[in-house]
Structure 1
């Protein structure tokens, strides 16, 4: 589904990615681990089209993502990719429901259809009772579940998560990672998860280990 070949990225004289090759299959859950500075988050941002490589190729279902620009790129990102970040990035002036719906508003989805989809996701994620709440009244786990619902509202092909459980306690962190498997079963998305937590990384279908800007190992988890 998603293929990256020969990805290089430098910032000034610092080489962050040194020729990364990675393939993500449909509905696969992949964790990416490695020490700080290994290039994990940079790779995730490039795969998610938030940044461009200096060289290399990225394709999704045969579409050359490197060539996408402007409105075409924004449309592809909105429709095909979901993002979950460590700090949730919820808009404080909006309710949980409104935050979930934002990518759908951008896509001009019918308001009734959007409300129905948001309600279905909230039910699946166990936050139906908090939809009218503002982010500052939600727990960390609830905020992250709102962020997950927002990432899924447009039914993307792949969801990229950068340290999604980094601000959660152990119980909520494990619950979030288990939730990704439930969502994959129910909705069919692929998940690519950058994490420092080895225990949680080992819950994935495959664990990719990065070191010094390269993939050191790619191991199937039995």
Structure 2
């Protein structure tokens, strides 16, 4: 596993993010050769995820180096606030100007779209929020990892590991990505066939009911973002 290039990969963290959206890709990225992985927020105060896990940022927006890969995770209700956070959106747009890849996991793609970084691209997100993404003028795909030119977007939560391996292959080659996959023994065999809305049966409606409040809030903010961006709803 050798590579002559030095890569800077940055994962945005914010209050209420989903930790596996970050830690899944982080596990993959931290195994790449000649790569530095940064956890980025507006300050260096500890950041608590939606379930209470605390991560410590390594860089602020102000001191973050130019990133080769910028990755945005999804989260809970606070994701709606981040979709209209001027400082966050400005940082993402600035990094995107020279980043090699602009990426996300789960509903992180909604934040990228709110920043105007997915219009004209195909992208994915968590299955329950595809209508929100589409409302911002994005071509939505239900693939687990969606690659459209230099935009790479993962589906819901656990897709972050698949996403990480796709990015690893882009940066350092398929053999390196395979090495990491085996190193992590990433060979999923879920105990139930309920991991997608197509196979979950009645559980799908239960999940939709549980997430109804955040869906309504996210859809409303997506439509506001569309108006700001001039996208067709």
TM-score between the two structures when normalised by the length of structure 1:
0.31
Higher strand share: 1
